[in-house]
Structures are given as structure tokens and as C-alpha cells.
Amino acid sequence: MIEGMAGVRKRWSGAAALSGAAVFFALAADPSPPAPQPLGEGAWWIPGGFLPKRQPDGNTVVLQGPEGLVVLDTGRHAWHRQAILDLARARGAPVAAIVNSHWHLDHVSGNPALKAAFPKATVYASGAIDGALEGFLRSSAEGARKFLATPGLAPETAEDIRGDLASVANGRALRPDVVIGANATMRLAGRPIAVHLSRDGPTAGDVWLVDPALGLAAVGDLVTLPVPFLDTACVDGWRAALAEVEATPFETLVPGHGRPMSRAEFKLYRRAFDAFVACAASDAAPATCATGWTRDAAPLLAANGQDAKRAEAMATYYVRDVLRHGKGDSPHCRH
């Protein structure tokens, strides 16, 4: 969810209807930057969010090395990237490396501002954003421009959509300096990190990191709550990537959206994911698959304080309007 601005239309319409008169209120002050949470020595989680009438921010993970900070994902909103800049200032360390787990706008939109603050920072990502700028993001932008004309659109929603359109218009600034083309152990900011590339999962190229010293995996949108965000997904590649994650020796895993998980919680997520996509590929009613998801993932939804009814509605959408429109994958799956 998402940066699929056109695809999100239905959900936003529903949200606007539910929030009623709230759409007439003026914009409130921007939310405060999220507070970094320590994950171990020299490691922090900056929580992403999903505020009412707003598009989401993905999680950020920051790792400190001898040469500065490694930042995995830069969020969408100004207040999210401000939290990253504030942490860099508090640590007295430059941002030396930015890694994008994938090209969705809730994970890359902060790149230009971080580069402006730290011009020597190197951006690492898969090359998948090039295809996205020519395809998914371009067509989403067309839908978003039309959506902006919706009568009664919440000003916060309109502001987010205008921000996304500006990010796409300046899409070259989101591209990596160094393309990750294969699994490798790299020194980022002088810190040894196992860099993994999974092809044809949530996007055509998803990068995820394992810090061996901390037993920490940061996997971007291979793991998301309240549901797997299947907007641009290839299901088989995603399943294979989750198997590869499970085979790595992590103790704590930071998902793309939601709180850090234990290994046992990740295994539960993986089982629920496999059952959900198997149901989507069967003849079962979309609502049946969605109920299965909220049942299987119930402990994770509870741990994140997430509403099962909302998760169920989103899960139904992903079966009915995404996977079953693409013969089992998202219609935007690119092999």
C-alpha cells in the first residue's frame, strides 16, 4: 500500500466516507518525528507510521559504523526523515550509506533530503526503480492526478499525493549510486553487513540486510503488517525470499511496516503468508482467505495493536482486486 496511488483510490474513498466531516477541517500541524528505538549496540529502529488520511511511511533501521551511519529506508514524509537527521546530529555522525530495501515511495522519498544534508552519502539499491519509473510509478501518477480532483478530498491526503507526484517527477534523484546485483557481504560505513537481494518478490528487486554482530535482520517489505502489501508482488519469488530469510541466523527482525519481531514471530508470519497466498490461488472466496489471514496472524496483529476488521478488509482487497487480476501475482509483477 501504498504508493499504488491509483490502486489505493478505493480505500481512500472508503476512508473519506468513514471519517465524514473530518475532511472539512484545516490541516493540523505536522506530526512530531518518530522517536528512534534502540535495537542493540549502534542500532536503532525509527518506526514508520500510517496516520489517518495519510499515506504510510516504512520503517527505517540505522546502523552506526566507524565511518558514519547506514540508513535502511528513508520514509515518505518530512517528519520521518527529520527523525533520521536528528539521530545523525545526536550521534555526531554523518549518514555515510543509504540503502533502499525497494523503490516504493514510503521507503525512498527521503533520499534527496538526506543526500542534500550529507552529499557524500552513497545510495545502494537494486536496479528495479528504473523499470518502476517507466511503468508503475508513471501510471500511478496519472491516476493520482485525477484522484486529486475528488470533491471533499482530505487536505492531508491531497498533500501526500502532491508530495508523491513531486517525488515521481524528480524520480532520477531516487535512483541508487551503487546497484546491488547479488548477495554480498559488504562494509557499509565500515561495518560488515550481509546484503541480500531477492528478485521478483514484493518488487522486482528487494534488498535486505543482516547484521551478524547483532543477529539483526532488516527485511523491508518482505514482512509487513497488518497484511502483506501485494501491490507489485510476484508471489513465488516472495515465498522463496521468506524461506531465505528463515535460513539466516537472526534473532530480531525489523519488518518494513510493524514492530520488530522475534524469530518465532517471523515463522508465524511466514506460515500465515503461505496459507494466505495459497488460499488466494484457490477457488475460495476472497473474504474466506482474509479471515484465514487475520486468524493465522492474530498474535502479530495484537502485538501491533492493529484492528482485525481493517486487516480483513485490506486482505480481501489484495485477493479480490490484486492477485486475482494477475493470475495469482499482482498485475504489476515484473519477472
Minimum CB distance to Zn ion smaller for 47 or for 256: 256
Instruction: Output the smallest distance, CB 49 to Zn ion, in A.
Output: 11
Distance CA 160, CA 233 (A): 23
**Cβ contacts of 197 within 8 Å, gap of 6 or more:** 126, 180, 181, 182, 183, 205, 206, 207
Strand pairing report for 60-65 and 122-125: unpaired
Minimum CB distance to Zn ion smaller for 78 or for 287: 78
Residue nearest to Zn ion (CB): 58
Instruction: Output the smallest distance, CB 221 to Zn ion, in A.
Output: 5
Instruction: Output the smallest distance, CB 201 to Zn ion, in A.
Output: 13
Instruction: Output the smallest distance, CB 101 to Zn ion, in A.
Output: 8
Minimum CB distance to Zn ion smaller for 232 or for 294: 232
Minimum CB distance to Zn ion smaller for 96 or for 300: 300
Distance CA 182, CA 59 (A): 23
- Contact residues toward Zn ion (CB under 5 A) are 58, 104, 106, 221, 256
Distance CA 251, CA 134 (A): 38
- What sign does the CA torsion over 162, 111, 183, 42 have? negative
Instruction: Output the smallest distance, CB 243 to Zn ion, in A.
Output: 21
Instruction: Output the smallest distance, CB 174 to Zn ion, in A.
Output: 14
Minimum CB distance to Zn ion smaller for 118 or for 208: 208
Tallying the residues shown for the chain, one arrives at 335
Whole-angstrom CA distances from 203 to 146, 188, 194, 231, 233 are 25, 23, 20, 9, 6
Please report which helix (H) or strand (E) contains residue 185, including its range.
strand 184-188
Distance CA 112, CA 173 (A): 6
Minimum CB distance to Zn ion smaller for 3 or for 296: 3
Whole-angstrom CA distances from 159 to 14, 154, 166 are 18, 9, 11
